[in-house]
Amino acid sequence: MSTKDTASKLKNWEPNPDITEAELDEMRKDVLDRIIIARVGLLLRHPFFGNMATRLKIQAADEWCPTAAVDGRNLYFNTQFFNAMNNKEIEFVIAHEILHCVFDHLGRRDERNPMLYNIAADYIVNNLLVRDRIGEKPSIVDCFQDFKYEGWTSEEVYDELFKEAEKNGQEFLEQLGEMLDEHLDLEGDGTEEDNKDGKGRPKYSKAEMDQIKDEIKEAMIQASQTAGAGNTPAGVQRIIQQLTEPKINWRELLRQQIQSTIKSDYTFARPSRKGWHTGAILPGMNFQDTIDICITLDMSGSIGDAQAKDFLGEIQGIMDEYKDYKIKLWCFDTDVYNEQDFSADDGDALTDYEIYGGGGTDFMVNWQYMKDNDIQPKKFIMFTDGYAWDSWGDPDWCETIFIIHSNHNKNLEAPFGITAHYEEAA
C-alpha cells in the first residue's frame, strides 16, 4: 500500500491553482478576520478551545498546505479552504487542530503507517467535536467520523484500519472519508527553516519538539482553569488530571510488592515486645533479604531498543537492591524465549542476557509457559508497552504486576493485578 498514492486520493477538495496572488491577498484579509471571529465564538461557547486557540499564531501557508495544519505553536491555513467555509465550520477546524495537540497526535505515531494513523487520529478528534457540538463539521470535506470508534484510542482505531486495509486494499480507505487537514511530520535535524516566513513546512529538532509538548501541557492546564468547571471535554479533562494529580512512584510500589515475597520466620534472637507486660517472652519475626520472583519482558515488534534497555536496567536495579535474590527471567512476543535463572550466588551477569522477539504480541503465552513448566511465582512482573492483542493473561494463576512503558494512555490499567506506568518515576 503506497502512502503517497493513498494520500492523494483521500482529498476531494483542492484549492484553485489558477487564482492570482492579488486575488489571494484580498481573500486572505477577509479570512483572517473570520478566523478571529471564530476564535471569539469558541471563547464564548467553548472556552477551553477558545483559550487554546488564542495562543496559536495564525500563519497563512498557501504554498504547501491545501487545508489546515498545526505544529503546537502555529495554526496554518490555506486561504481558499477557509474562505470556502462558514464561521461555525472554521470553529470546527480550529478545534480539530487543537485536539491534535492535546492528544499528542504529533508525537504518538511512532513507526506506524503515517496515512493510516492520521486517519485514526481524525476519527478520534472528529467524534469528540461532533458529539460535543463544537462548531459545524465542514460540508466541503467528507471527514472521517464514525461513532463506531467512540471510546477507542487512536492506536486501537489504527489496528482496526490496518487489518481492514491489509484485507481489502486501498479501495477500503477511499470509501471511508477524507482528510480534513495536513498532519505534519515535524522531526528534523534542526537545521531546516522553522517556517518563520510561512512559506515552508515546519521542521523541528527533537529538543524543540519536547519543548513544544511542554508548552502544550502548560497551555492545557491554564485553558482548563480559565474555562471553569464543566467547560472542558471529559476526554481532555482526563489528560489534564494525569498532568496535575500526584503520581504513585511505581518503583516504590514494586519495592513494596517484592518485599511481600521475602521469606520470614520466628526467632527468639529478636523477641517481640508484645506480652512483655505479662512476663512472657514471645519470638519476633526474622526477616531474610531473599526475594523469589519471575519477570518477563515484552519483546514484541512495538517495543524499541530504548524500552528494552530500560527494562533490563530496572531488573538490574532489583538485583542491586537485595542481598539475596532468585529471579527467573524470560522474554516473549507470541512465544516465550530464553528463560534464565539469576541468583546472588551464580554470578551470572544480566549484561550477558540475550533478548529475543520482535514478532506479534500474545500475553497469554506467559501463563501457558508457567503452567506447562509448573512455575507458580509469588510475584510475576511483566514489563510491557501495554498493547495486549487479546487476553492480558490468567488472573487466577499468580499475583501479577504490569509495568507499562511508553503507552500514550496513562490511565490504562490491566483487567487484573497491579498496573503502574514506567514514566511516572523515570
Is the distance from CB of 182 to CB of 14 less than 8 angstroms? no
Q: Which of 194, 210, 243 is the last residue of a domain?
A: 243
Residue 193 grid cell: 527553516
Closest CA to 117 of 92, 139, 93, 100: 100
Neighbours of 174 (CB within 10 A): 12
pLDDT tens profile 384-416:
988 887 789 999 999 898 988 878 777 788 899
Do 146 and 259 belong together in one domain? no
The sign one gets for the Cα dihedral 267, 269, 270, 275 is positive
CA distances from 319 to 45, 227, 292, 324 (A): 56, 49, 11, 8
| Mean pLDDT of the region 302-321 | 76
Structural domain tally of the chain? 2
Q: At 54, is the pLDDT very low, low, confident or very high (cuts 50, 70, 90)?
A: very high
Closest CA to 422 of 304, 337, 334: 304
Most confidently predicted of 151-160, 279-288, 289-298, 308-317: 151-160
CA distances from 201 to 61, 87, 89 (A): 8, 26, 24
Do 217 and 315 belong together in one domain? no
Do 257 and 120 belong together in one domain? no
Residue 1 grid cell: 500500500
Is the distance from CB of 285 to CB of 264 less than 8 angstroms? yes
| Whole-number pLDDT of residue 336 | 94
Q: Which of 243, 258, 281 is the last residue of a domain?
A: 243
Which residues lie closer than 8 Å to 317 by C-beta, 6 or more apart? 251
Do 329 and 257 belong together in one domain? yes
| Whole-number pLDDT of residue 204 | 86
| Whole-number pLDDT of residue 7 | 40
DSSP E strands in 71-218: the ranges are 74-77
| Whole-number pLDDT of residue 194 | 46
Neighbours of 381 (CB within 10 A): 25
| Whole-number pLDDT of residue 320 | 74
**Rounded distance, CA 289 to CA 423, Å?**
28
Do 172 and 254 belong together in one domain? no
Q: Which of 193, 220, 243 is the last residue of a domain?
A: 243
Buried b (16+ CB within 10 A) or exposed e, 62-71: beebbbbbbb
Domain that holds residue 202: 3-243
| Whole-number pLDDT of residue 358 | 83
| Whole-number pLDDT of residue 356 | 85
pLDDT tens profile 106-165:
888 777 888 899 999 999 999 999 999 999 999 999 999 999 998 888 889 999 998 888
Q: At 53, is the pLDDT very low, low, confident or very high (cuts 50, 70, 90)?
A: very high
| Whole-number pLDDT of residue 230 | 82
**Rounded distance, CA 317 to CA 243, Å?**
27
| Whole-number pLDDT of residue 112 | 86
| Whole-number pLDDT of residue 360 | 86
CA distances from 256 to 38, 398, 402 (A): 53, 17, 14
Do 351 and 206 belong together in one domain? no
Exposure of 132 by Cβ count < 10 A (0-12 exposed, 13-18 middle, 19+ buried)?
A: middle
| Whole-number pLDDT of residue 72 | 92
Between 412 and 367, residue with greater pLDDT: 367
pLDDT tens profile 206-252:
888 888 988 998 899 899 989 887 888 888 887 777 666 544 455 66
| Whole-number pLDDT of residue 192 | 43
Do 222 and 371 belong together in one domain? no
Is the distance from CB of 100 to CB of 70 less than 8 angstroms? yes
